[in-house]
Amino acid sequence: MSKQQKEKLAPQGKDVAIAPTEQQVPQQAAAVAPPEPQQDQPLPKEEPIRPVKAEPVRLRGRMTLEDAFQSIGLNCVQQIEANLPGVGKQNVESLHQMRVGLRRLRALLAMFEDLAAPPVALHADIEWLSGELGPARDWDVLADSTLDRVQGFDSTALRQAAHERANAHHAHILNVLREPRYVELMTQLNEWLGERRWRPEATLDKDSPLAERAARAALPLLRKAEKRLAKRIDGLDDGDAPGRHRVRIAAKKARYAAEFFRDLLPARRVKRYVGHLEKLQDRLGLLNDMAVADHLLEELKGGSSQVAKQAAYVRGYMAASSEADAQGLAKTLADVAKRRITR
């Protein structure tokens, strides 16, 4: 039987398997119903909050002091702004790093106060922001750090009260960061630094230290920070808590100054100098935390009887610990007072 005859004998009305033509393929695909969505799919994970520490300041040997000042200032502002999302979510460490960026900026402006002072209004707004961020951090440190140093009693009620105060201040900060004053401050800072608005004229006076090479012109500024620290150490009396706080601030400014100009200084000398300052800051920082805790606990004495009793106990414990810690400080202070990064 021929092929044609077989085809004629194919049964009529029956389904016959026929390969789809190219034109039929998309039509068939379009007719297929989409798959049912899977149930109970996990929501995409939210990106974790990462507090942003200061990026190293990169300075080049041919930079002028003005170039260095601008680079350092913008580096500080970048750290402040980078931590804004975390602070907006009331992350404790993001707030800490925002405050670090602000402290670094204030230290830089103090260092250059005779060469590139910001407008009075801009300086006032920087101090305003610093004051607004401080209380939340103080209560955070008390609740999450300082109370851990107290041994031998259950501080649950006191810790809860401290957390409540901290949360209230964090909520206040959210309002602060929405204020036009904050937005204007950051705008003005970026413009003042980016456009070098500290210049009295369009160009910089060629005799200004800002026009000199940074590697040489920064040395008098570094020496000034060293001498200030040594002077405050020499004038410190035993048991002088406010004096210790001033030494701590001077040590912090000297350390920031060395870190700002690290690229233009001998690396090993910077490492040793900064290391000694960090050790002193750690010791003075603990003493300062206990002094701040005493003031904060004073505010809680009017709370519940349990909170008041625990606060009274901690204040006594802190007073004894502070006195003991301060006694071994003299040697560390004397060692730092003779240290110099400029030779």
pLDDT, averaged across the chain: 88
Residue 3's pLDDT is: 45
- What is the per-residue pLDDT across 31-67, written as a single tens digit (0 to 9) for each? 445 455 455 666 566 778 899 999 999 999 999 999 9
Residue 227 above 80 pLDDT?
yes
Alpha helix (H) residue ranges in 47-179: 65-82, 84-88, 92-111, 120-144, 156-178
Question: Does 169 map to a domain?
Answer: yes
CATH of the domain at 133: 1.40.20.10
Residue 93 above 60 pLDDT?
yes
At 239, the pLDDT band (50, 70, 90 cuts) reads: confident
Residue 14 backbone phi and psi in degrees, to 5: -90, 155
Question: Does 258 map to a domain?
Answer: yes
Q: What is the DSSP letter of 341?
A: S
Mean pLDDT of the region 257-273:
96
Residue 184's pLDDT is: 98
CB 166 within 8 A of CB 139: yes
Residue 294's pLDDT is: 95
Domain that holds residue 131: 65-197+209-338
Residue 303 above 90 pLDDT?
no
Indicate the pTM of the whole model.
0.84
Cα angle value 62/187/97 (rounded, 5°): 75
Residue 16 above 90 pLDDT?
no
Question: Does 291 map to a domain?
Answer: yes
Closest to 117 in 3D by CA, of 208, 200, 198: 198
112-145 b/e (C-beta count within 10 Å ≥ 16 → b): beeebebeeebeebbeebeebbebbbbbbbbbee
Residue 202's pLDDT is: 79
Q: Which two tokens stand for residue 188?
A: 């003005």
Question: Does 120 map to a domain?
Answer: yes
Residue 209's pLDDT is: 96
At 153, the pLDDT band (50, 70, 90 cuts) reads: confident
CB 139 within 8 A of CB 169: yes
Closest to 139 in 3D by CA, of 284, 281, 299: 299
Q: Which two tokens stand for residue 282?
A: 């750690």
Residue 49's pLDDT is: 86
- What is the per-residue pLDDT across 305-318, written as a single tens digit (0 to 9) for each? 899 999 999 999 99
Question: Does 324 map to a domain?
Answer: yes
Question: Does 14 map to a domain?
Answer: no
Q: Which of 4-13, 162-171, 253-262 has the lowest mean pLDDT?
A: 4-13
- What is the per-residue pLDDT across 96-149, written as a single tens digit (0 to 9) for each? 999 999 999 999 999 999 999 999 999 999 999 999 999 999 999 999 999 999
Residue 261's pLDDT is: 98
Tokens 């309002």 belong to residue: 175
Residue 296 above 50 pLDDT?
yes
Question: Does 20 map to a domain?
Answer: no
For the chain, how far is it from start to end, CA to CA, in angstroms?
112
Domain count along the chain:
1
307-315 contacts, C-beta under 8 A, 24 or more apart: 307/157, 307/158, 307/161, 310/153, 310/155, 310/157, 310/158, 311/158, 313/150, 313/153, 314/147, 314/150, 314/155, 314/158
Question: Does 58 map to a domain?
Answer: no
Residue 1's pLDDT is: 46
